[in-house]
Structures are given as C-alpha cells and as structure tokens.
Amino acid sequence: MLSEDLPNETKRAIDVLNYIKEVDGCYPNAWIAYRILQTIPVTVASAERSFSKLKLIKSYLRSTMSQERLSGLAMISIEKDIVGKLDYVNLISTFASKNARRVIFQ
C-alpha cells in the first residue's frame, strides 16, 4: 500500500507525487490521482479574483468594449505580477519595428 511505502518526511501532495515518480510505475493510478490533485487550486480565491476583476472592467467600459479587448484587459489585470516584470522599452521597440499588424512576441 502506498501509505506504508512513503518515507516519514513526506507530508505534502507534491512530495507524494515525486516519490511515486521515483518508484517508476509502481502506482499508476495514484500517479494520475496526485497529478490531478496538483492541478486543483487549494482555494477558489484566484477564480474569485478573476471574476472580480472582470466585473470591475466590464462595469467601467461595458458600452464601448469588444470581447477581444475585454479578454485582453482581463488577462492584464489578472496577471498583474507578470505584467509588472515586462520590459516595456523592448516591447514597444519590437512592436514599432514591425510593419505587419500581427506580430509574434517572444
């Protein structure tokens, strides 16, 4: 049984997942279950935050906004930590140097 085979210091689900990976295929169903467990958020705060931000954006610009713009603004608001780390000078110069409307950003 998996619980009997686990080392004593294994307390978190990610530790169990790593242990199952190390024993290489001995517990295939447990591997799948723990992988699914790792994708489920502990709380629904991130989902609630997303809906809260979306509600604020929609109420502010509801009448003049397309769905594409709404999605873009929502992503910027939700992922503000990542947006804060962007190099705007490089981003603007890359955008300005392209002639095409659609630019693939890296």
Segment 51-68, tens digit of pLDDT = 787 777 767 666 666 778
Confidence class for position 80, pLDDT limits 50, 70, 90: confident
The two tokens of residue 5 are 């085979």
> Whole-angstrom Cα distance, residue 68 to residue 73?
9
| Selected residue with higher pLDDT from 19 and 88 | 88
pLDDT at 100: 61
Q: Considering the entire predicted model, what is its pTM?
A: 0.34
Specify burial of residue 2 (Cβ count, 10 A radius: 0-12, 13-18, 19+).
middle
Q: How far is CA 88 from CA 92, 93, 94, in A?
A: 6, 8, 10
pLDDT at 104: 65
